[in-house]
Structure 1
Amino acid sequence: MKINQNFLSLGKKARGNNGKPVHFTKPVTMIIIHWIGPYPGQTVGVPWNWWENGPDKKGVQASAHFVVKGEEILQALPLDEVGWHSGDARNYSSVGIEIIPMNELGEFAPDTKKTLKELVAHIRTIYPQAKLGRHYDGTQRKDCPRWYTPAVEGGDEHWIALRNYLDGVGGYDE
């Protein structure tokens, strides 16, 4: 597994509070899985560019620690900094991973799932107590990552299968 680091710039909205990094002050207890939206053709650099520049070159107050597609991993934030990915207090105790799906329904490609499994294992070498969660599981009930939420038929079952696979307690036969 190769992680390409390209940290968001200090001074931008996506990197902390008023452009200053915010470091975790409580234990990281979650790894939150997202999807970037129904845009399977994107590269891992597209979300990074949006966070960094936004519509006005000032950036947006949104970010995640990683973006994954296929075998590619882009790290946008150091693992000791808060990312702006969950829209609630969970940002302060979680690592965020954005996935670029293989289709507009939000399904993750087999090679993406394999890479995600390796990345989750890597993150757990630093934060061994971190459990897996979906953006959906927060207070907003946003359909993120869509294929793995009740927004699609069988979404919760898809999530259980993916979570079990990532946790190493089962194969993947979705």
Structure 2
Amino acid sequence: MAATTITIHNTGNPSSNAAGERSWLTNPSNDRQASFHIVVDSKEAVECIPLDENAWHAGDGSGAKSGNRTSIGIEICESGDYAKTLDNAAELVASMLKARGWGVDRLRRHFDWSGKICPRLMYDSGKWTGWTAFKNMVDYKLKTGGKTVKKDDKVEVLVNGKKVADGVLDDGVTYTPVRAVAEALGASVMYDAGTKTVSIVAKK
């Protein structure tokens, strides 16, 4: 496989770790035709299949342009310290993008290939706020050479005295999810993926 994208998944198993997910692939009782390239938890990332071989993770068949034939599948575990797991996954993905000269536009959800609600913990009732936050985290690490955000770099974002999100302070500028702030102010937020435009509409 000559990959052109990286696809992100959640394992759908709240009690497994990376080693357990890897073991499941070769468990004699596992009769599913499904697989993935890398699985990440709060402690490690395990490569299960060479990145130049196909894995059956996208759910969209075997066409030449399918996710199964063109994309590296990364499973994010749901157990343990999920925030740390996400940070590990973002660091891994950022390093993979950098090595290939790619940007976050090369990232895909399982959902993008087959409509399955996955990565499910990023779904947020169809708003996909977790997905946007993950891409922003990857983009931040990509632009800062994979630097992990220091505790002192994190700031609380308050709207009318109520915490709505965590932000990151970078060179005097605070970065935070625009949706969290806008919706806390009673506005609606729409994102156009085609034009990469965020529209904020205040309620009258």
TM score, norm. by length of structure 1 = 0.69
Aligned to 1:91: 68
Aligned to 1:8: none
Equivalent position SS for 1:162: helix
Match of 2:87 among 98, 104, 114: 114
Alpha-carbon separation, structure 1, partners of 2:32 and 2:69:
18
Checking the alignment, whether the CA contact within 8 Å between 1:50 and 1:60 is kept in structure 2 is: no
Give structure 1 regions of 4+ aligned residues with deviation exceeding 4 angstroms. Answer: 169-174
Report Cα offsets for 1:119-173 as digits up to 9, x if no partner: 11222244333611110111x2111111212xx3364122111111112278486
Stretches of structure 1 lacking an aligned partner (at least 5 in a row): 1-23
Equivalent position SS for 2:49: coil
Report Cα offsets for 1:8-58 as digits up to 9, x if no partner: xxxxxxxxxxxxxxxx1x4x2211110110x222121222222222526xx
Number of residue pairs aligned between Structure 1 and Structure 2: 139
Which gives a bigger RCO, structure 1 or 2 (Cα 8 Å, sep 6+)? 1
Aligned to 1:41: 15
Alpha-carbon separation, structure 2, partners of 1:118 and 1:158:
16
Greater strand content: 2
Q: Which letter does structure 2 place at the counterpart of 1:163?
A: K
Q: Structure 1 pair 60/127, CA: closer, same or farther in 2 (3 Å)?
A: farther
Equivalent position SS for 2:6: strand
Alpha-carbon separation, structure 2, partners of 1:126 and 1:80:
14
Aligned to 2:40: 68
Q: CA deviation at 1:63?
A: 1.1
Q: CA deviation at 1:67?
A: 0.7
Greater helix content: 2
TM score, norm. by length of structure 2 = 0.59
What percent of counterpart residues are identical? Answer: 35
